[in-house]
Structure 1
Amino acid sequence: MTKAKDEFKNRNLIKSFNSKTKYAITKLSQILGLSRQTIKKRFDDLVIEKIISNFTININPNILPSNLKYVLLEIKTNPNEPELLENLLKISQLKILDGVLGEYSLFALFIFHSSEEYYQVLSTIDKIMAQSYFKKYQIIETIKVFKTNGIELDGNKIDPNFEIDSIDYVILKIMQENQNLKPISTYEIKDIIKEKYKDFLNEMNRQEISQSTIHNRIKKLEKKNVILNYALNFCPKKIGFRGKYLVRIKPKNPSN
């Protein structure tokens, strides 16, 4: 089989794991026309070849009471500053970091759950940049997100009467950042909250969040279009994507 055919098959398999709810291997088998054993073998091959890394979720940026904050950062740097790159990669809110041509040679996308989180991380970025050679970067704040991770938002509107709370935020954060090569279970989410979110539980005067509460909240987050889909993180280059373009578009002035 040719490399192009392999890449095409791998792309299709990865795409098939994108779903509104956790994937069911039986349903995948029917959609792809493949046996469960074949799907498992091909999935294992993707893991061995380091094509896929983990499961995650895509979150609707238009959640209430406050939208997710998408912030673009353009950074002026030079090749002799690997520590700058390393320090930026440690920031969990960093979702994309690309090296690009031009005066600003790093392009980053950060997603924040609150203004407080934004200003906290901005302070960290200031400290990182203070140690850089050029000490120069510029921030671009988004005012509206039309599409995220290939998902158009017009068809995934948020219920204006539904607001998420701090427990929902924690569940979403864990589902987005703490999954491995098997979709995370509600029991695992419960254990992570109990182990890593002790201050959060203390503030709420609770010892734990029950598994049933987590399950019911996830189902509601799916139903209300807060969770856009479940997906796999993958290496684009290994499945045939040859590059990426960042495009700035200046709309026509309606007054002309």
Structure 2
Amino acid sequence: MHMDIKTAKYSGYCFGVKRALKLAEEILKKNQCKKTKIFTLGPIIHNSGVTNKLAKKGLISVENLEKITPGSIFIIRSHGMSQVLVNEIKKKNIKIIDATCPFVKKAQARAEDLSKNGYFVVIVGNRNHPEVMGIKDHVLNKNCAVIKNETDAEKISSKKKIGVVVQTTQTIEKLCLITSKLLEKAKELVVFNTICNTTKKRQNFLLYYFQYIFLYLLWYTCFHLLNYYLTGDLCFGLALI
């Protein structure tokens, strides 16, 4: 059986991850002859091959701040970090290198500006994700809520002003569904689409190709497994549309 394997057009590291890896490599190279320890809170990227390579060069991944020693260097990962944790690190005489993705920083800034202007801030995303925790910390007086779906949106009480930002890796469809529910909750609703460009492109690419993959699998099943030629021809025709 002949098989075509296609590589997704937007596969690989996004801009933010590339930037974080480049910064880490530069810092490791600059300090390779020194005894300064270099830390990250958790792996800098979810790729064991890359993290193992960086570990051999001296990058130390820890799971809690207590293991970060004074006088060392600390790299903030691309998805950002809670400001509370950053302040804790600063107390230890540690040099901080901020590798937060610019798209994440934009979401943080939007959340802060909204709160300064009297909006109740709604963050669409996963409440336990470091990126969302970091965005939440930029909201003044914690006047905000993190929601992940329409059900959560329905639980928001009526407000005079609601401002929305979104975790950079969420889908535009989810954002639209949630904001449609929030329209019923506020006299004034401001929405900032802070989904990163690479995420949008990957999602659109996946949706575009999925319809053809699905139709092909349907045709293949009908034609080869069920031997239902009429349905097989129909599905094949649809796949060519």
TM-score when scaled to structure 1? Answer: 0.20
Q: Flag the structure with larger Rg.
A: 2
TM-score when scaled to structure 2? Answer: 0.21
Q: Which has the higher helix share?
A: 2
